[in-house]
Structure 1
Amino acid sequence: MQEIADVFETPVSREVWKWKYRLPDEANRDATVRDTWRRVARALAAAESGHSAHWERAFFEALEDFRFLPGGRILAGAGSRSEVTQFNCFVMGTIEDSIDGIFSALKEAALTMQQGGGIGYDFSTLRPSGMPARRCGGIASGPVSFMRIWDSMCATVLSTGARRGAMMATLRCDHPDIETFIGAKRVAGELRNFNLSVLITDDFMAALEHDRDWPLVFPINTEKTPADSEQIVSRRWSNTDSPVPCRVFRVIKARDLWHAIMRSTYEYAEPGVLFIDRINRQNNLWYCEHISATNPCGEIPLPPYGACNLGSINLTRFVTDPFEDKAALDFQAIKRITAVAVRILDNVIDASRFPLPRQRDEALGKRRLGLGVTGLADALVMLGLRYDDECAAELAEKIMRTVCLAAYRASVELAGKKGCFPLFDPDKYLDSGFARTLPHTIREAIAERGIRNSHLLAVAPTGSISLLANNVSNGLEPAFAERYQRRILSPVGLQNYDIENYAVRLWKRLRSEPTLPPAFVTTFELPPHAHLRMQAAIQRWVDNAISKTVYLPEDFPFSDMESLYRQAYDMGLKGCTTYRPNPVTGVVISPSEPLSTSSVCCEQTD
């Protein structure tokens, strides 16, 4: 086991590998993490029609030393005999507003979660509470009541093992039950397997800005003639291709609804906000899909049955001469590994199992990828840059631009060898909001040769895989603390670990002194605007989206938090999520006393 000790610098990294990513089959168990890398490289290289041995070596070199971190489902599932998917998350199909439709959707969700996929759902298609249910003569109980069934299903299907259930629920800001949705998680333990996000439209933001009324509406039954007294407006609903007549249930002030969203977010960290019109306007596939939901962490907005195929480049492995005056990023190496990572993720589409046939059809038709970065905060520290420095945001933008352009070039090259994604339409694709911002040379290459993948970039939270890679900082998040305690779900329950920041640990090893790197700054030391500035700097070069949480101190003023969300919209972000310590959601990570000699507390909680 000496090989494992050489690779893993911390006990928690080794345990995460053993619990989450090591092949569990006793007859073919990975003896070391290098066996895991070899298994993944071999399985994905098998999707190559020729030169598979060459690509197996290239893939292994990318995975080695945690340089490229595929999504957790890829690490756990590639090359295994288990009936699991290699896609981390899915957005499920549109929920039909009937008992048959609802429970058919529930079954699809259970089958997907059983194979390891998280799910996202837009519940806006379900009629509001109090509305007559035409077929049975009853009264509808509303979307939130059915969300509780999903929540129970998730808890039951994933009641054992080391993977926690993950679901996203979205609801339109003009749905009559939006206020119930906003307050759905006010009670501790309610809908605990869901993240909630409100779909905010441009029209709503305009109404908010000008203090206008805001109608809450729902599509009228096509078989029902509206009464003369009913007010009817036209809306493109979540499951429609064009505007449809909707009945106005109530009219409220836009500012009152916004205040309710903000107050709930302030008090118990939910719901988040998705600027859904911007998401659809920027979508490369605006011409053949409409998005109204995301995966559970929000970095991949997806159409019905869409899947997120994730991987992250570990930026800490590309810093040369860390902490020295001549410290630098190796951008050429980042370009090279980006090209290999695109090929790895593209092969996942062909190698993976899918819980549902429609998920497979969707993935093969569009070949969507979500390549991102992790370890950004630690890399900045190693380069001598504080996270809140203006030059740190400028460097982050340069990093993401480098990854973006290298990924698009790699996908164009792949299209020349393997073909474009089937739903590619060059004129319409290049007319999308994001594609119009690409450099002329890349747009010209796409027009001439096509492109293999409809989307290529996303910045995921990378919680477990960052722990696996010796606890580099997550995604683009700042460092939480020099050292902290974290509860991690294992097959035997929750385990408590003392964890030290990667950059701090490296600094102490290189300098042999118990100080902190000069550029080291923690999440709660940063002004909240620094979080938004970093997200905005990167968003320009991300065709999917970004998972980012703005952490706020407990005494942060409510009015200042509310203004952050308006700033997020004005800065061109696709969504915003904040977290302020509160008694409802509890604390997953907490500051720790100096590290003890025993890293694992082994305290099991209920």
Structure 2
Amino acid sequence: MTGIDSQGPLDQPVTVHIWREKYRHGDEATPSDTFRRVIAGVYARDMQHAAEALAALEARDWVPGGRIFAGAGTAKRVTWINCFVSPTIQDSMDTEPGQPGVGIMPALSVAAFTQQQGGGIGMDFGTIRPDGALVARTGSVSSGVIPFMAMWDGMCLTIRSSGSRRGAMMGVLPVWHPDVLAFVTAKTRKDFLKNFNVSVTITDDFMAALEEGRHWDLGFAVPRADGKHVEVLEKEGAPWYVYHRLPAAELFDLITRTTYDFAEPGVIFIDRVNALNNLNYCETIAATNPCGEQPLPPNGDCDLGHVNLANMVLDPFTDAARIDWDRLKAAVATGVRFLDNVLDTSPFPTPEQREEALAKRRIGLGYTGLGNLLQQMRVRYGAGAVPLVEQLGEAIAVAAYRTSVELAQERGVFPAYDAESFARAPFLAKLPQDLRDDIAAHGIRNGVLLTLAPTGTTSIFYGNVSSGVEPTFSWHYNRAVVVEQTATEQKTEQFEVEDYGWFLYSRLPGFDPAAPLPDYMISALELSVEDHIAVAAAAQRWVDAAISKTINCPAAMSYEAFREVYLTAYRMGMKGCTTYRPSGVRGSVLSVAETAPSAPKPAPFASEEQAILKRPEILSGKTIKIKWPVDGENYYLTINDYVHGDGRRVTFEIFISTSSVENFEAMAALTRTLSAACRRGDATFLFEELERVHSPKGGSFVRLEGEKKGRYAPSLIALIGRILRMHSAPQQELFDDPAPGVETVGAEENGEECPNCKRDTAHRIEGCLTCFQCGFSKCG
């Protein structure tokens, strides 16, 4: 038993919809027609290997990037390359001859052309003089980086590239730039720079200053207009003007505190990126593509495709489960040749981008479906999965490098190849000696080969496999997809979606939907931060570029623990760090909330409560309306309280009413059991147990009225348990008004507002803002 059942996940209505709306071209009647069109375009000069590539697509072993699916083999004037990095932005409006890069306005034009043709783009704004700097040519004062970023943001807003795909951008600023303080907090302003992801490039010197408790200088090569410099130093033989000096810890706290509340900026450990780059002898990297998995030089590109790991397990969910290594290596070999062909056949937005791509022949081969593979292997996502993740990464890396050496013998090495310099690349030291010997003897076709990128809608197209290196987000959910949109309204359609791993697991012989799930069937929001970091670091070890991975953090996580995530990521050798913590302040002015003191534990009940309480004729209480997103049904939870002589209120009886025929009997049994327990004493322990119940249909983010922050509820029962526990708490977390009455509780996915469907259902997955209702993806 292997791979995707052609009568199963591939036939989900949402999968068919994604194919029709995003990847079908012209009169293509089936995905097979799409595959043949893509192969005809990509293999136009290599028909000898076209058949094996087509077979890999039909088997769903190989997943080309979304731009390739949308553009290859068509007459559209679009690029098949997902993302780029801008040419170096000169510190002048127009291009200065004899200097690297282009002026500000030409760079803006490059970004516009790139996005018009379907590519995302990243920009290093660290070359632009800061706010308050002297502009000697005009005798004026610079407005700094942020207003120029607003120009890029406005441009992106006006350009809609092929189909319904909007442009994606990454704005990067170095940690030493004087505008970094404004840059870090820029997106705390509502609706400002909405078309950007933003990241700070952090140097090893800064991390050393942080560890040693030293101060940090923010400076630039151009003087302040007011002359009020902290100090004038010398760097690379020229004056370097210190604009501000502050403790490194203060700046680090500003970055991490802002991210704690607003999910941005990310951080890129830029010195590590350059030190580990195979091509550091001929390029310097200062920025990444929009989702951060490809650190790229000026005009660099990321040519993406993925091996589908969900398809690579023999005898899944059994004691005999094992990796089909031959199938995996064959898919990698096909992928390397496929992506190398794309470089020769894809249109490029600018001649400079084509020149850079062909000089170094960088490709971004990665994988998707890791979460589903681990489930089939009965391995829990997290620290325990590290050996298998590393084993997979090593096998993919070795197969990719071997194929690239074979291509070098067949087609020639990449033009920027220098045997002596390339041999010193740290990544090569990990490869087997015989492979290193082959590289020395024959060279290699591609300068950089491996990355782990967001796979978004391509993963849905392939049966809703778990995306990229991420765990499964939800087992089973309803997804609202925009099927028709006009200038004034949009029409949506609800699709029922099943995760690929869940689809296989739930159809095993003897499956019992009421039984607890095994520990290896775990979703993203149930995992600890340590689990996420462990897998991210393990995946990065066998990638020569970088990875796109979001470390999901619980809303209740303390700032101190959140801050430590970034330090841990640096210590574990990662090239960057992106986190997401649901936050109730996102979209408002940045503020730091004081930590509330811990509530004292309640004293044990007195003897009055140890006996069964008798019901008075009249009880006060509340009725709460719950709309559960998973099944769309309304539930009315009534909680009546008993008031003791000393004024203390305790939960006495509970009723749940619903028009749902399916759940009526279960709700009646639940309320009778809970009410009986409440009358015999403190039933809080039962409420806590209910909060741990997981539904095979999946859970939902829920923000209750009166709550500042939403939380994930793994089932309707768990949500009810949470409401009851909060109601019974000595310090009311939910119901601040003790008077009787009715409160309405609305259940929703508590994410960011989706730019497309306007619902609060967008979350950061793989470093990318992704909507789990309409399918919008900021990166793809």
TM-score (norm 1): 0.91
Q: Equivalents in 1 of 2:263, 2:328: separation in Å?
A: 35
Q: What do the CA deviations read for 1:136-171 (whole angstroms, capped 9, x no partner)?
A: 222211111111111111111028842132110100
> Which residue of structure 2 aligns with residue 416 of structure 1?
409
* CA spacing shift, 1:388–1:605, aligned 2, 3 Å: closer
Contact 2:141–2:225 (CA under 8 A) maintained in structure 1 = no
* CA spacing shift, 1:213–1:604, aligned 2, 3 Å: closer
Contact 2:56–2:331 (CA under 8 A) maintained in structure 1 = yes
Instruction: Please state whether the residue corresponding to 1:577 is helix, strand or coil.
Output: strand
* CA spacing shift, 1:510–1:595, aligned 2, 3 Å: farther
1:454 to partner: Cα distance: 0.3
**Residue 158, structure 1, aligned to residue 160, structure 2:** yes
> Which residue of structure 2 aligns with residue 232 of structure 1?
232
What do you get for the CA RMSD once the two structures are aligned? 2.6
Listed as ranges, the gaps of 5+ residues in structure 1 are 236-241, 598-602
Q: Equivalents in 2 of 1:142, 1:461: separation in Å?
A: 32
Q: Equivalents in 2 of 1:343, 1:491: separation in Å?
A: 38
* CA spacing shift, 1:269–1:592, aligned 2, 3 Å: same
Contact 1:4–1:32 (CA under 8 A) maintained in structure 2 = no
> Which residue of structure 2 aligns with residue 468 of structure 1?
461
Relative contact order: is structure 1 or structure 2 higher (C-alpha 8 Å, sep ≥ 6)?
Answer: 1
Instruction: Please state whether the residue corresponding to 1:259 is helix, strand or coil.
Output: helix
* CA spacing shift, 1:537–1:228, aligned 2, 3 Å: closer
Instruction: Please state whether the residue corresponding to 2:170 is helix, strand or coil.
Output: strand
Q: Equivalents in 2 of 1:355, 1:419: separation in Å?
A: 25
What is the one-letter code of the residue matched to 1:356?
T
> Which residue of structure 2 aligns with residue 573 of structure 1?
574
> Which residue of structure 2 aligns with residue 549 of structure 1?
550
> Which residue of structure 2 aligns with residue 523 of structure 1?
524
What is the one-letter code of the residue matched to 1:325?
D
Q: Equivalents in 1 of 2:314, 2:545: separation in Å?
A: 30
**Residue 364, structure 1, aligned to residue 358, structure 2:** yes
Contact 2:134–2:222 (CA under 8 A) maintained in structure 1 = no
Contact 2:117–2:161 (CA under 8 A) maintained in structure 1 = no
Instruction: Please state whether the residue corresponding to 2:249 is helix, strand or coil.
Output: helix
Contact 1:275–1:575 (CA under 8 A) maintained in structure 2 = yes
* CA spacing shift, 1:489–1:286, aligned 2, 3 Å: farther
* CA spacing shift, 1:551–1:488, aligned 2, 3 Å: farther
**Residue 345, structure 1, aligned to residue 339, structure 2:** yes
Instruction: Please state whether the residue corresponding to 2:507 is helix, strand or coil.
Output: helix
> Which residue of structure 2 aligns with residue 376 of structure 1?
370
Which of 276, 282, 297 lines up with 1:288 in the alignment? Answer: 282
Contact 2:116–2:161 (CA under 8 A) maintained in structure 1 = no
Contact 1:91–1:295 (CA under 8 A) maintained in structure 2 = yes
Q: Equivalents in 1 of 2:85, 2:482: separation in Å?
A: 24
> Which residue of structure 2 aligns with residue 250 of structure 1?
244
1:227 to partner: Cα distance: 8.0
**Residues 139-288 of structure 1: matches in 2 within 5 Å?**
139-158=141-160, 161-220=163-222, 231-235=231-235, 244-288=238-282
Q: What do the CA deviations read for 1:286-316 (whole angstroms, capped 9, x no partner)?
A: 0110000000011110000000000111111
Instruction: Please state whether the residue corresponding to 1:185 is helix, strand or coil.
Output: helix
1:384 to partner: Cα distance: 0.8
> Which residue of structure 2 aligns with residue 102 of structure 1?
104
Q: Equivalents in 2 of 1:339, 1:373: separation in Å?
A: 13
* CA spacing shift, 1:484–1:133, aligned 2, 3 Å: farther
Listed as ranges, the gaps of 5+ residues in structure 2 are 95-102, 588-626, 634-661, 663-755, 760-780
Q: What do the CA deviations read for 1:548-605 (whole angstroms, capped 9, x no partner)?
A: 000011111110010010000000000001000124658xxx99514999xxxxx965
Q: Equivalents in 2 of 1:549, 1:478: separation in Å?
A: 10
Instruction: Please state whether the residue corresponding to 2:281 is helix, strand or coil.
Output: coil
Instruction: Please state whether the residue corresponding to 1:372 is helix, strand or coil.
Output: strand
Contact 1:169–1:194 (CA under 8 A) maintained in structure 2 = yes
> Which residue of structure 2 aligns with residue 459 of structure 1?
452
Contact 1:19–1:162 (CA under 8 A) maintained in structure 2 = no
What is the one-letter code of the residue matched to 2:116?
Q
1:332 to partner: Cα distance: 1.5
* CA spacing shift, 1:195–1:490, aligned 2, 3 Å: farther
* CA spacing shift, 1:196–1:605, aligned 2, 3 Å: closer
Q: Equivalents in 2 of 1:184, 1:595: separation in Å?
A: 38
> Which residue of structure 1 aligns with residue 501 of structure 2?
503
Q: Equivalents in 2 of 1:487, 1:289: separation in Å?
A: 44
Contact 1:483–1:595 (CA under 8 A) maintained in structure 2 = no
**Residues 21-170 of structure 1: matches in 2 within 5 Å?**
21-23=23-25, 25=26, 29-48=27-46, 52=47, 54-100=48-94, 101-158=103-160, 161-170=163-172
Contact 1:372–1:458 (CA under 8 A) maintained in structure 2 = yes
1:371 to partner: Cα distance: 0.5
Contact 1:162–1:491 (CA under 8 A) maintained in structure 2 = no
Contact 2:170–2:198 (CA under 8 A) maintained in structure 1 = yes
Between stretches 176-185 and 515-524, larger displacement belongs to 515-524
Contact 2:118–2:162 (CA under 8 A) maintained in structure 1 = no
Instruction: Please state whether the residue corresponding to 1:124 is helix, strand or coil.
Output: helix
Q: Equivalents in 2 of 1:412, 1:160: separation in Å?
A: 35
Contact 2:229–2:243 (CA under 8 A) maintained in structure 1 = no
> Which residue of structure 1 aligns with residue 562 of structure 2?
561
Contact 1:172–1:198 (CA under 8 A) maintained in structure 2 = yes
Q: Equivalents in 1 of 2:564, 2:57: separation in Å?
A: 42
Instruction: Please state whether the residue corresponding to 2:426 is helix, strand or coil.
Output: coil
* CA spacing shift, 1:228–1:159, aligned 2, 3 Å: closer
Q: Equivalents in 1 of 2:500, 2:449: separation in Å?
A: 28
* CA spacing shift, 1:559–1:68, aligned 2, 3 Å: same
1:510 to partner: Cα distance: 2.9
What is the one-letter code of the residue matched to 1:155?
L
Identity score, percent = 45
Contact 2:361–2:447 (CA under 8 A) maintained in structure 1 = yes
Q: Equivalents in 2 of 1:152, 1:8: separation in Å?
A: 39
Q: Equivalents in 2 of 1:584, 1:410: separation in Å?
A: 49
> Which residue of structure 1 aligns with residue 535 of structure 2?
534
Q: Equivalents in 2 of 1:209, 1:301: separation in Å?
A: 26
Q: Equivalents in 2 of 1:274, 1:376: separation in Å?
A: 24
Q: Equivalents in 1 of 2:257, 2:628: separation in Å?
A: 26
**Residue 593, structure 1, aligned to residue 630, structure 2:** yes
What is the one-letter code of the residue matched to 2:86?
M
Q: How many residue pairs get matched?
A: 579
What is the one-letter code of the residue matched to 1:435?
L
Contact 2:78–2:162 (CA under 8 A) maintained in structure 1 = no
Between stretches 491-500 and 348-357, larger displacement belongs to 491-500
Q: Equivalents in 2 of 1:65, 1:557: separation in Å?
A: 45
Between stretches 345-354 and 38-47, larger displacement belongs to 38-47
Between stretches 547-556 and 162-171, larger displacement belongs to 162-171
What is the one-letter code of the residue matched to 2:113?
L
* CA spacing shift, 1:400–1:107, aligned 2, 3 Å: same
> Which residue of structure 1 aligns with residue 439 of structure 2?
446
Contact 1:85–1:354 (CA under 8 A) maintained in structure 2 = yes
TM-score (norm 2): 0.71
* CA spacing shift, 1:39–1:584, aligned 2, 3 Å: farther
> Which residue of structure 2 aligns with residue 238 of structure 1?
none
Q: Which has the higher Rg, Structure 1 or Structure 2?
A: 2
Q: Equivalents in 1 of 2:190, 2:523: separation in Å?
A: 28
